[in-house]
Structure 1
Amino acid sequence: MSKEHHYKTTIEWTGNQGTGTDNYRNYERTHTISVENKPIIEGSSDPAFRGDKKKHNPEDMLLSSLSSCHMLWYLHFCSVEGVIVTAYTDNATGIMVEETNGSGHFSEVTLNPTVTVSDESMIEKAKELHHKANEFCFIAKSVNFPVKHIPIVLVK
């Protein structure tokens, strides 16, 4: 039986410079992202779209969501399968294609996790479990582009 989980976030535009959106160049793309009982995230658009490079943009957040979802599933499956992970870092990359009309879409994301396990005998299983994590990741299953992964597994 399926179970629903509901989420709520509040986005508030903070970039009104006094004249609203009267001109494309007269407003900032800054905003806050709020979720109850969690720290506020300061957001903007990508600098390519007149955004603040010091703030998170939606593209950063999408890539981060895919990476963290994969990691959390991966760590779960490792714990179930007896693979002891002692460190995990992912340098995820994404490609967004901007169309001539200004719209765009991600064409792919590649996760590049570097995982450290406690014993050499765990390396093959540790690599294999990335496929299972990809199959279970809620975010990866919700996007319409491929989420690839190129893992590196090390022994501590």
Structure 2
Amino acid sequence: MTTHTYDVTVEWTGNLGSGTDDYRSFSRDHEVMAGGKAPIAASSDPAFRGDPARWNPEELLVTSVAQCHMLWYLHLCATGGVVVVDYEDHAHGVMTMDESGGGGRFTEIVLRPEVTVADPSMAEKARALHGDVHALCFIARSVNFPVTHLPVIRVQNS
């Protein structure tokens, strides 16, 4: 069995001088780093006292699902004879809070990829290949909520 490992560092940068001596006394700011890459400035969701100018874990989860779908989709298109010339996804995730207000979980992610193909003869296959991605996408296969997709297929210069 082949395995792949992924190591990241999450470094809290939000000590405002008194650490976590009170729920409101510290910033949720942190950086996400991996293998010498530029750090990602992150925080918690603004609803949980985070900085709205920084990425939050919930956005990063939705991003991961959308990225994985796109990368597998482009692979399937390349090996299946579909020439994609543009791809943009406006992904949407829903997190539902528990009634107690103390926790929550994602209940769905909807991917809305807008794909432009080079030729009209490729449009139907381009649409169908989205359905094959879920069986391959590592991230979508790892989450316990539905990931759906609503693709829009366009033809270049049409």
Q: TM-score range by the shorter chain?
A: over 0.9
Partner of 1:65: 64
Deviates more, 1:30-39 or 1:48-57: 30-39
Partner of 1:5: 4
Distance 1:131 1:152 in 2: 13
Distance 1:37 1:94 in 2: 29
> How does 1:20-99 map onto structure 2 within 5 Å?
20-99=19-98
Residue 61 of structure 2: SS of its match in structure 1? helix
Q: Deviations over 1:58-108 (max 9, x none)?
A: 001000000000000000000000000000000000100111241110000
The structural deviation recorded for 1:133 is: 1.1
TM-score, normalised to structure 1, is: 0.98
Confirm whether residue 145 of structure 1 aligns to residue 145 of structure 2: yes
Distance 1:151 1:102 in 2: 35
TM-score, normalised to structure 2, is: 0.96
Opposite residue 148 of structure 1, the aligned amino acid is: T
The structural deviation recorded for 1:37 is: 2.1
Opposite residue 118 of structure 1, the aligned amino acid is: A
Residue 28 of structure 1: SS of its match in structure 2? coil
Query: How many pairs are equivalent?
Result: 155
Distance 1:52 1:129 in 2: 38
Distance 1:42 1:78 in 2: 33
RMSD: 0.7
| Greater than 3 Å deviation, 4+ residue runs | none
Opposite residue 13 of structure 2, the aligned amino acid is: T
Distance 1:51 1:37 in 2: 25
Distance 2:25 2:36 in 1: 33
Confirm whether residue 128 of structure 1 aligns to residue 155 of structure 2: no
5+ residue gaps, structure 1 = none
The structural deviation recorded for 1:36 is: 1.1
